[in-house]
Structure 1
Amino acid sequence: MAVPKKPMEEFEEEFIKLEIEEIAAKYKFDESLRGKWMLFFENESMNDMWAKAVELYSAGELPGVISIKASTAAHCARSSDPSCGAIRFKCGPHTDRELVLQYGQQLVKKMGYSDSFGFVAYKTDSQSKIGTKATGAIKNYLYRLPVSTYNHLKQRSGKYSEPPIEVPSRMWTHYVMAEVMGDYIEDPAELNDYARWTLQFPRGRQHDSAWVNACRLYRSGELKDVAYMQTSTAKAKSGKENKKDGVITFFCRDNLPLSRLQLCGDNLVETFKYSHRKGELKCVSYMSESNEPGYMVLCRVPTLGSHRRA
């Protein structure tokens, strides 16, 4: 096989692409149903990651992937961060949610992908035509999968040291921070397939301390059934600048038996010695029974100082 072009050595064309006819021919469906998983890398890693993608794709080791395409060093008005590039893994049909999510999970594992935001996104080709966040599009993805926020496998092997835990009060560039370990993500499920427990803490030292404690417990496997976590930061969303509390959200799969969800909630209350003025902590699912956007309460557990279970 010819040596592939290196994305960061291309300054004229915005993209380089590879499509092998024998591989693409395996996946027959209408081209209008195509989409792509978007993996982002720092520019200094793009050449190596593209070479890895080319090797895996050419060997037929990326199930469902029709073609691959990488951004280059050429200027692109659609890019919101010039320090990063993206590799797009074309697959579909995007109407087959379960299949596309399976492709995404397998791709993440093969590429050993991690992302500081804690997720990887899938876009349809029609969404790409509408634009990106850099060009004003508000939502430019169809599906999202949780992915590791750091390479914990190399960290455990001793090749890398464990990354430090950033505290929310010192994060001013993002609205949320995530903590995700890939081997806690057991099945290919979209972010909205996770139920959530949301705990509130006074902003500042108490919120910071709770987040650091949560990360340590999560990394050591002591938060049973918690797949991943997010926290608010010092950067407040518009209209919420005066909120006194920071929040930490613990995500569990929404298909767990209610008894396990309740046990998870009880464990969170006990671990963080959590109390709330309403006397209860709710576990909610993002999608309502009518399949319209909203929240549905799956179960409740009493917080400290309460003697009832609703």
Structure 2
Amino acid sequence: MEETNYVRTSTCLVESNGQGESSPGSEQDPEKTPKSAEKQERNDVDTGVIYKKKTYIQKLSLINVNRGKNNMLRRMYQTLYFLSWPVIFYAGFSYGSYLIWFNVLNGTSSIILGSAPYNFSSAMVGLSYVACCLGTIAASLFTGRFSDWLTIKLARRNKGIMEAEQRLWPFAACIVVVPASLILWGVGAAHNIHWFGLLVAMCTLAFCNTCGITLSVNYLVDSYRELSGDAMATVILVRNTMSFAIGYGITPWVENLGYQNCFISAAFIGMACAAVFLIMIKWGKTFRERSRERYWNLVIQNWEKGMGH
């Protein structure tokens, strides 16, 4: 993606003050006449660096000699290196732990809704995902307006200081809603409850899924804002690993335990995963403080290599 491969070098402008002297890095005066502004623009063009246009083959190259050490291997190393940072690893784990339950829902919805006593057609199974859309809309309000309001209120109680861990408190609702949704879905299907109950479970599970994704990413960005783009690759690596694993595990899990026992165990696992946010509430700030020097060293290195945004 060449548009993200742009080398962000800064240019120091030299502006004459009319007396044969110059001041490097001077900002443009907003009161300049159009003529003087046009003259400066012409000077900037004259002193600019002219680059030769790349050929199509050069644009496809995986290695850019002009980028120095800021290459693909360095970014790959950083993706793995960030796994040792507790906050980043937690963000990926939290993201993945909520996503896998929605994968479980996707993996069993056709089996449950398409079989007796519901006997939904393929079109009706697809239409049932409107419930998930409603849950996502509710979660967007919960993690948006409510989360911002709660964070501001907690910051005021903390003498006006906003801590990244304050973003995590809405996870408290998921400790209850995740296991309740899984039990309603799996145990309800085992006991042939009305189909509306299963759609409620789909709605609330989608609500938790969206909350988990949004709050996890918010926590990451608030913790390491300058490295959040690079750290997101690590988060996605953890998330995809968990999602890949559950895709292979859900079918034998259900076949060996049955709907009831499978989803009761899933409910307690989901509750345990959701409760991990309490550990970050307690020690998250300590983890961030320990990584402070490493964080700023990497930020400075990225700036020097033209990767500061």
TM-score interval (norm. to shorter): under 0.3
TM-score when normalising by structure 1: 0.23
TM-score when normalising by structure 2: 0.23
More helix by share: 2
More strand by share: 1
